[in-house]
Amino acid sequence: MDQSVLMAASDAFGLNCKWLTHIGGNVNDVYNYPAENSNPSRILRLTHKRWRNEDETAAELHFMNYLYANGVSVPKILTSQAGRWVEPATNGYHACMFVKAPGHTPVGEDWNSNMVVNWGRLIGQMHILTQSYTPLENLNRRDWKQESWMDLRQLPQKEKIVCHRATELLTWLNTLPMCSKNYGLVHCDLHARNFFVTDEGALTAFDFDDSCYHWFAYDIAVILYSVISKFNQQERKRESLDDYMSLFLSSFLKGYQEIHHFDDWWLEAMPRFLKYRRLVVYNYLHQRYDWKTADKEKKVKWLSLKAEIEADESILTI
């Protein structure tokens, strides 16, 4: 990141640029700022207008603030020196800041039924609250079809079999009901790297940058796909994927259904939603990376996804 961008963002939020530590980010650049005096640890996020403009970021933060105000465990949004959520920096970037979520990224011992039940409760809270959410006038998040990496029509036309699979799924998606009880503004990326968990199992969700209008069932499919991927990366599997996911779903749905009703058709549609998620990931690879410069690990993933999609392999059979 250009130093001038960091300095502009730091000045806007009253930070000392030298204390910023880069901690990651995919399409955004995310920095940690340590606690000082009476102020907690903070997260400064920088976004380029090529990805999201300032209005889109403001719409994301408005939704987060609505959830926060209604008791959902998401980070508190902090305002700039001028009292704004979003501040322009230089070179096309803009910045926003949050209180750092308590806890840590889940590790081995955190993956228990208590965490999974709380995971279900957390997404259930979001789904019930989004039904009464009213966005700011002229500041709205996109519908999934407006996201190029979610709209599978953006796939390379030369990949005929992949495009055929995509067309089948898009046709199917267009048949699904879109009432407020099953469709709305959702997180759309609440895998285990987008929340922190405390030692007591309490969760705090963050990174709402992918939030868009989609089916609640897809929001859950994103989570299931990430858990399946984590399971498949394990070297020593003590149980089958179906057994593992049966236990996971049992705990997850226990928490979810304490808050929000889980329609039967969502579970019946889940295999197709998982296939759609796989295509979205594949589409993202095409849009984000260049095959010629991609590293070996990414190419292996790329080819594996393509083979699975063309073979129309099931991701979960339970």
> Which residue has 């897809």 as its token pair?
218
pLDDT of residue 74: 98
pLDDT of residue 77: 98
Three-class secondary structure of residue 301 per DSSP: helix
> Which residue has 């046709």 as its token pair?
171
Report whether 226 contacts 191 (CB < 8 A).
yes
Decide if pLDDT at 256 tops 90. Answer: yes
Distance CA 96, CA 271 (A): 37
Share of the chain above pLDDT 70, in %: 100
Mean pLDDT of 19-43: 94
E strand or H helix that includes residue 55: helix 54-69
E strand or H helix that includes residue 269: helix 264-288
How much is the mean pLDDT over the chain?
95
Mean pLDDT of 126-135: 97
pLDDT of residue 151: 86
Report whether 61 contacts 18 (CB < 8 A).
no
Distance CA 272, CA 261 (A): 20
Share of the chain above pLDDT 90, in %: 88
Instruction: With CA atoms as reference, report the closest residue to 195 among 175, 168, 223, 231.
Output: 223
Helical packing angle, 216-232 and 264-288, nearest 10°: 70
Q: What is the pLDDT of residues 152-210, one digit of tens each?
A: 988 999 999 999 999 999 999 999 999 999 999 999 999 999 999 999 999 999 999 99
Following CA atoms 188, 76, 63, 67 in sequence, which dihedral angle do they give, to the nearest 10 degrees? 80
Report whether 317 contacts 242 (CB < 8 A).
yes
Tokens of 63: 């939704």
pLDDT of residue 237: 72
Decide if pLDDT at 236 tops 90. Answer: no
The dihedrals phi and psi of 152, each to the nearest 5 degrees, come to -70, -5
pLDDT of residue 179: 94
Mean pLDDT of 258-279: 96
Three-class secondary structure of residue 6 per DSSP: helix
First and final C-alpha spacing in the chain: 45
| pTM higher than 0.85 | yes
Q: What is the pLDDT of residues 59-99, one digit of tens each?
A: 999 999 999 999 999 999 999 999 999 999 999 999 999 99
Distance CA 121, CA 273 (A): 21
